[in-house]
């Protein structure tokens, strides 16, 4: 959480979700802060899906940089990938398509209602 890239990505993810202004000090706290934003059991589960997307995306970006000599990943590109990945995971869990990508892109919490 203290690496410049990681903290910038988490900041943008939390800003996108309109959750907190300060980056939590560790992964456990970031999980708790995000999940507590959910009003019901279903929303909390949906937020768990969203919480996993940054972890997966940053892990993949790091591995690409180490093993595939990829160029540095920008914060903007990482956040865009997180939004896309979390939307795919979210609609994969849903019984019906709850929202379009542009709706998810602008306000995912409205899709979780």
Q: What is the pLDDT of residue 84?
A: 93
Q: What is the pLDDT of residue 79?
A: 92
Q: What are the start-end ranges of the H helices in 1-113?
A: 4-17, 27-35, 41-67, 75-93, 101-106, 108-111
Separation of alpha carbons 94 and 20, rounded Å: 26
pTM: 0.81
Look up residue 85 and give its two tokens. Answer: 């990945």
In tens digits, the chain (113 residues) has pLDDT values of 677 888 888 888 888 888 766 777 787 887 888 878 778 888 888 888 888 899 898 888 888 878 887 666 788 888 999 999 999 998 888 767 678 889 999 988 888 87
Q: What is the pLDDT of residue 1?
A: 65
Separation of alpha carbons 87 and 35, rounded Å: 17
């Amino acid at each position: 959480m203290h690496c410049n890239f990681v903290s910038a990505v988490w900041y943008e993810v939390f800003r996108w979700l309109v959750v907190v202004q300060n980056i939590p000090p560790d992964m456990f706290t970031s999980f708790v802060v995000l999940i507590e934003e959910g009003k019901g059991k279903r929303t909390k589960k949906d937020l768990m899906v969203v919480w996993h997307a940054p972890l997966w995306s940053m892990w993949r970006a790091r591995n690409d940089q180490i093993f595939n000599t990829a160029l540095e990943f920008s914060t903007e590109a990482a956040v865009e990938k997180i939004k896309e990945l979390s939307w795919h995971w979210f609609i994969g869990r849903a019984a019906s398509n709850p929202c379009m990508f542009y709706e998810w892109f602008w306000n995912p919490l409205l899709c979780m209602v």
